[in-house]
Homo-oligomer: A and B are copies of this chain.
Amino acid sequence: MSTLNVGLVGAGRIGRVHAENLAFRIPQANLVAVSDVIVEPAEQLAADYQVPSVYQDHRRILEDPAIDAVVICSSTDTHAQMIVESAERGKQIFCEKPIHLDLKEVDRALAAVQSGGVKLQIGFNRRFDHNFRQVQELVAEGRIGDPHIVRITSRDPEPPPISYIEVSGGIFLDQTIHDFDMARFLLGDEVDEIYATGGVRVDPAIGEAGDIDTALITLRYQSGALGSIDNSRKAVYGYDQRVEVFGSEGVIIVSNDKANTAILGDNKGMHGALPLFFFVERYTESYLVEMQEFIACVLHDRTPPVTGNDGRVPVIMGYAAKKSYDENRPVKLSEIVASA
């Protein structure tokens, strides 16, 4: 097999990102079908990216024996079920995160993947970003020795609509989940205990919806390394995505990508560009690379770089953070697993 026939489930914003990459930038993939419960965006996507088949029912994709792999970009609450159905039909699976907000559903999906004998890659795209990948590689090469402290700053440029907040599962499962994945990725180490604090600083309406918009999370890794994540739903200067890993032999720090390198000096100061606005601008390349990796893993029968377990653990961490915040005490991940 030298090329892969791919079906896309979900024609929303992230679905379009994957469609463009599959159609135009990954010669080893043929995007042959797209489905969406709302047919109009699917048809538009098909027109834009030259996709032959458009369906309303994703099962048309799953039942097509010519399709090797599915890319699941439907709404979060359907991910687990989509994984189960795809695995049962022997499709290779790329699925957006999170797998599900209910850990039992996550486990059901992962069980189906295992019994189906298929591959599953979770869409934690930031792992494929040029900056973070560089940090991870340098850490893995031992360039900073034994890791002691991880710092992750992750702030959005603007909060999502309140309607979204209401069904998001809360900041820890919606926004911090990316940072939980990053925390694991950077060190290749598991977190043992989490202490989360935070509050409503950006918009009272977020508080009224039962969520918080500013958070500070402390991680203790199994190795004894420490981690700190700070989140905000609103950084007026743009999408703030920085990490730092400090260890016995050094430190690695990444700063934000910016629109340009121009510095204007006038009689008031030296002025530079803002960070790239949001994830579509910031992570363009990482969406392409993750999909290239998925296609290559299927074609060459390799384990995907973001596994089902990599999708599962951050959900557990999200629950631990939530419990920690609610009870204002450090919570071990083992507590969450035990009570699940």
A residues contacting B by CB (< 8 A) are 23-25, 27, 48, 130-131, 133-135, 138, 143-144, 146, 148-149, 151, 153, 155, 195, 197-199, 201-202, 214-216, 218, 220, 224-228, 230, 232, 234-237, 240, 246, 248-274, 328-330
B248 and A202 contact, CB distance less than 8 A: yes
- With CB as the reference atom, state the residue of chain B lying closest to A196: B218
- With CB as the reference atom, state the residue of chain B lying closest to A147: B201
A235 and B251 contact, CB distance less than 8 A: yes
A256 and B266 contact, CB distance less than 8 A: no
Copies in the complex: 4
Given B220, B255, B263, B272, which contacts A261 in the complex, CB threshold below 8 Å? B255
> Please, which residues of chain B bring their CB within 8 A of the CB of A220?
197
- Contacts known (A27-B48, A216-B228, A218-B195); A265 close to B248, Cβ less than 8 A: no
B135 and A262 contact, CB distance less than 8 A: yes
A252 and B260 contact, CB distance less than 8 A: no
Given B134, B201, B254, B260, which contacts A134 in the complex, CB threshold below 8 Å? B260
A201 and B274 contact, CB distance less than 8 A: no
Q: Which of A195, A214, A218, A262 has the most CB of B within 10 A?
A: A262
Complex alpha-carbon distance, A266 and B238, angstroms: 9
Complex alpha-carbon distance, A11 and B259, angstroms: 31
> Please, which residues of chain B bring their CB within 8 A of the CB of A226?
197-199, 214-216, 230
Closest Cβ of chain B to A34, distance in Å, is 17
Q: What are 14 A-to-B residue pairs whose CB atoms are below 8 Å?
A: A130-B259, A130-B260, A131-B261, A195-B330, A201-B225, A216-B226, A218-B218, A230-B246, A235-B251, A252-B265, A254-B260, A254-B263, A255-B261, A269-B273
Closest Cβ of chain B to A235, distance in Å, is 7
B197 and A144 contact, CB distance less than 8 A: no
> Please, which residues of chain B bring their CB within 8 A of the CB of A254?
260-263
- Contacts known (A228-B216, A232-B246, A329-B329); A261 close to B256, Cβ less than 8 A: yes
> Please, which residues of chain B bring their CB within 8 A of the CB of A230?
149, 151, 226, 228, 246
Complex alpha-carbon distance, A268 and B237, angstroms: 7
- With CB as the reference atom, state the residue of chain B lying closest to A220: B197
